[in-house]
Amino acid sequence: MKYNTIETARLLTSPIPLRRESGVNVPLLLKKLKNYLGINTNIELSRILDVKPNTISTWKRRNSLDYELIISICNMMDIDLNVLFAMDKDKQQATSSILAIPIEAQYQYVSGYSRQEFLDKMPKCKLPFSFSNTTTRAFQMAGISMSPTLKEGAYVLAEKITSPEEITNNMICILISKLRGIHINRVRRDAGTSSILNLLNDNPTFPGNIVMPLEEITEAWKVTGSLALNLIKAENDK
């Protein structure tokens, strides 16, 4: 069965790209994808992916890929990602298994985040690429305070911050406080003291920025990207 054009669904990502290993054989992967879709040419593939034909050629030449787009298409077409991304036995694609904290479990996470028994019960998402930081976690976004950068309900990917000095102005962070819960905000340091963080909202219509002392924070994570599970509607579809 051949597909000429489809409406593609892209995963929402933050301006900070996800870090990936370069172990994927992109030309081979694209060839396998065309076989799954029942097509033969890059032009047909570019129509399905809604990209320019020379984009496909660039991916092959640079051995790079828009992973979010490929994963989205595979989900829509019910293509097994494990099979698609599987390389030769001598060159298996690196994967990441990331602990995910859904909204309904975030209260328990804050009150007992160090209990391994609780963490073992949390869901894990497996992605067909790995991260440079071995401590990466996904937190589900509650509310619209960071819209449009981070969509409500999206899973926000973040790397563990080990020292307060790593937190810089304009960085998007996930901050855990037993007093205030989980906050996902853009951060700016207080001009008067280095021990205070100002948590800012990207959504201009969302009121109230927060001031949080560093001593109140039990965990800090640097946001590197996000995975959205639903599409953003166009203005004329609302």
Considering its fold, how many domains does the chain have in total?
2
How far apart CA 196 and CA 186 sit, in angstroms, is 14
Measured in degrees and rounded to the nearest 5, phi and psi for residue 156 equal -95, 120
In the prediction, which pLDDT does 152 show? Answer: 92
Flag whether 113 is in a domain: yes
Q: Is 37 among the domain residues?
A: yes
Query: DSSP letters of 60-108?
Result: HHHT---HHHHHHHHHHHT--HHHHT---TTSPPP-EEEEEE-GGGHHH
107 lies in the same domain as 159:
yes
Q: Is 21 part of any domain?
A: no
pLDDT tens-digit profile, the chain (238 residues)? 333 333 333 333 333 333 344 467 888 889 888 888 888 888 989 998 999 989 998 898 888 888 888 888 888 888 888 878 776 444 444 556 788 999 999 998 998 755 777 888 888 877 766 666 568 899 999 999 999 999 999 999 999 998 888 999 999 999 999 889 999 999 998 877 788 999 999 999 987 788 999 999 999 999 998 887 665 555 555 4
Residue at token pair 């984009």: 55
Q: Are residues 217 and 101 in the same domain?
A: yes
Residue 31 has a pLDDT of: 87
Q: What confidence score (pLDDT) does residue 231 get? A: 53
Q: Is residue 99 a contact partner of residue 119, using CB atoms and an 8 Å limit? A: yes
Q: Which two tokens stand for residue 194?
A: 């280095």
Measuring CA to CA, which residue among 90, 101, 104, 140 is closest to residue 124? Answer: 101
Same domain, 37 and 111: no
- What residue numbers bound the domain in which 193 lies? 96-128+135-227
pTM for the predicted model, two decimal places: 0.58
Residue 148 is part of a domain; what is its CATH number?
2.10.109.10
| Residue 19 is assigned to a structural domain of this protein | no
* Domain shared by 198 and 102, yes or no: yes
